[in-house]
């Protein structure tokens, strides 16, 4: 099983709303990632969690707040977003070895976020 699931599939929110994106994997992967993808562009790394600890924050604005409650779950809390934050948000996971990622990174289907 190489499945990463994400909910919701689509999300529309106003600039004053608070919402959360959820990601789950049951492959035993200990690294989990959040990416943002704009149309016709490659995924851009936002955050990396390794063993439930934040390893990388790519200078993401504080209106995006990641959380890793356990080894299978990854959340992205959203607050006071801007219209330019509208994008496809992708979750991914991979195995960990020697302090870094090892082997394939598997992606979820993404959450299409629209900020009005």
Partner 1 sequence: GESVGLHLPTLSVQEGDNSIINCAYSNSASDYFIWYKQESGKGPQFIIDIRSNMDKRQGQRVTVLLNKTVKHLSLQIAATQPGDSAVYFCADLTSGTYKYIFGTGTRLKVLA
Between CA 77 and CA 9 the distance in angstroms is 15
User: Which of 20, 2, 9, 16 has its CA nearest to residue 88?
Assistant: 9
Residue 109 interacts with partner 1 (CB under 8 A): yes or no? yes
- Given a contact cutoff of 8 angstroms between Cβ atoms, the answer to whether 72 and 26 are in contact is yes
Peptide bond into 8 cis (omega under 30): yes
Task: Tell me the DSSP string of 58-83.
Answer: -S--TTEEEEEEETTEEEEEEES--G
Q: How far is the CB of 72 from partner 1 (least distance, A)?
A: 18
Task: Work out whether 104 is an interface residue with partner 1 (CB under 8 A).
Answer: yes
Kindly tell me which of 45 and 60 has the beta carbon lying closer to partner 1: 45
Report, in Å, the least distance between residue 16 CB and partner 1: 27
18 is an interface residue for partner 1 by CB under 8 A: no
Contacts (CB under 8 A) with partner 1, residues 35-74: 40-43, 45, 48, 50, 55-56
- Nearest distance in Å: CB 80, partner 1: 26
For residues 83 to 102, the per-residue mask of contacts with partner 1, x marking binding by CB under 8 A and - elsewhere, is: -------x---x---xxxxx
How far is residue 25's CA from residue 47's CA, in Å, rounded to a whole number?
Answer: 16
Q: Which helix (H) or strand (E) holds 88?
A: strand 87-97
Contacts to partner 1 by CB under 8 A: 2, 4, 6, 31, 33, 40-43, 45, 48, 50, 55-56, 90, 94, 98-110, 112
């Amino acid at each position: 099983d190489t499945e990463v699931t994400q909910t919701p599939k689509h999300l529309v929110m106003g600039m004053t709303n608070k919402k959360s994106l959820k990601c789950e994997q049951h492959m035993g992967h200990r690294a989990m990632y959040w990416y943002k993808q704009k149309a016709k562009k490659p995924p851009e790394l936002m955050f990396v969690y390794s063993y439930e600890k934040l390893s990388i924050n790519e200078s993401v604005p504080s209106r995006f707040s990641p959380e890793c409650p356990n080894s299978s779950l990854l959340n992205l809390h959203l607050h006071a977003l801007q219209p330019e934050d509208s994008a496809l948000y992708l979750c991914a996971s991979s195995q960990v070895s020697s302090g870094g990622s090892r082997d394939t990174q598997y992606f979820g289907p993404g959450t299409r976020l629209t900020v009005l």
